[in-house]
Amino acid sequence: MAQLAHAGVSELIHSGMDVLKGIHKVPVVFQHAMLDVITPDDDYLAGIIERAATAGPMHYNLSVIERDEAGKERWVQGLLAREGEQADGHAVLEMIKAGRLWLQVEHLKELAPELEHMARQAYDELKRKVAGFTYFNLYSNLLISGPRAKVTPHMDVAEVFLFHLRGHKRMTLWDPADVNIPDSARESIILREQLEDIEIPQEWINRGFAAELAPGEGMNFPYMWPHMVENLGDLNVSLQTEYHYPASMRRYLALYAQGLARRRLGMKVCNDLPESAVQESLRAVPGLLAKALRLHSPKPRKVAMEFVVDTAASDGVRWLPRDEVIALEK
């Protein structure tokens, strides 16, 4: 069970306004005190992994990166355990440490309520500390990844705060204005026509905002800033949270409406979204209506579970025969 070292920790964000004031606009690295509340050691993580395995694959995403013949990387998802089988949390953890497995545990309210609770406490604290900060649609998950794991450039459709708990990682973020991401690419991601991957021009790969995170540090990923993450040689554990705030929701809905207009009505949308909040709000209204009327219903994304964790396999991955692969709507 959860090891609550000091359940009554009153302050989870240590950094002051001088650091936090840039949130929303630029990436900010801050200090947090979550490690005074939980100890994310192997026993703690193994317990969460076992509960996730028992709850089933809709409660987690377990991935490896595969390369095709052309050398292109592809994320492949799999199972912690077959249905009805028990996972050994410590064994899974050893395999994450040894290999290239990447695990995201969802439904924390059920599987690790203390983490969900800490996330909410931290956000409420930011609301008190940072003038104008507000949040809704908060969602949390726990990321456990191996020493060489990396996440290639992509964009999330909400603003992200990462509370780093164990290991070391390097984050690189790009200002969307610098790397020229067209609205049409953002619309495709928001309308779920494509995954969240983004091509970053080669000349920008080493010129983004880069920061190395250690346990006890946290960072925000401003809304729709492309980013990539590389682990730096040890097991990494982070509480990842995402949320919306009025300006991000306005932009989301404006892009949603603009994407539908471009696709359904054949409208030539030449302009990028306006900078003015009022103009953007006007563009967001049709997006809100389209959402309410369910005008756009993308096909559910089917994800194949192609492998199962197996301690007998050299890299911990046993590929399932084609007739045993199951596809889930995730």
CA nearest to 87, candidates 101, 108, 76, 75: 101
The CB-of-3 to Fe ion minimum distance in angstroms stands at 28
The CB-of-156 to Fe ion minimum distance in angstroms stands at 4
The CB-of-180 to Fe ion minimum distance in angstroms stands at 20
Toward Fe ion, which CB reaches closer, 150 or 263?
Answer: 150
The CB-of-8 to Fe ion minimum distance in angstroms stands at 32
Binding to Fe ion, residues 27-86 (CB under 5 A): none
The CB-of-330 to Fe ion minimum distance in angstroms stands at 16
Find the residue with minimal CB distance to Fe ion. Answer: 156
The CB-of-162 to Fe ion minimum distance in angstroms stands at 8
What string marks each residue from 265 to 304 as x (binds Fe ion by CB under 5 A) or -?
----------------------------------------
Toward Fe ion, which CB reaches closer, 36 or 156?
Answer: 156
The CB-of-47 to Fe ion minimum distance in angstroms stands at 26
- Residue 245 contacts residue 24 (beta carbons within 8 Å): yes
Stretch that binds Fe ion, among 46-54, 152-160, 286-294, 318-326 (CB under 5 A): 152-160
HEC secondary structure over 1-46? CCCECCCCCCCCECCCHHHHCCCCCCCCEEEECHHHCECCCHHHHH
Toward Fe ion, which CB reaches closer, 112 or 151?
Answer: 151
Angstrom distance (rounded) from CA 165 to CA 242: 17
With CB under 5 A as the contact rule, the residue among 42, 94, 125, 156 that binds Fe ion is 156
Sequence letter at residue 130: V
How many chain residues bind Fe ion (CB under 5 A)? 1
Stretch that binds Fe ion, among 3-11, 61-69, 151-159, 170-178 (CB under 5 A): 151-159
Toward Fe ion, which CB reaches closer, 159 or 306?
Answer: 159
The CB-of-155 to Fe ion minimum distance in angstroms stands at 8
Toward Fe ion, which CB reaches closer, 156 or 197?
Answer: 156
Toward Fe ion, which CB reaches closer, 62 or 143?
Answer: 143
Toward Fe ion, which CB reaches closer, 114 or 156?
Answer: 156
Toward Fe ion, which CB reaches closer, 139 or 319?
Answer: 139
Stretch that binds Fe ion, among 115-123, 150-158, 165-173, 184-192 (CB under 5 A): 150-158
Sequence letter at residue 18: D
Stretch that binds Fe ion, among 124-132, 154-162, 273-281, 284-292 (CB under 5 A): 154-162
Using CB under 5 A, list all residues that contact Fe ion.
Answer: 156
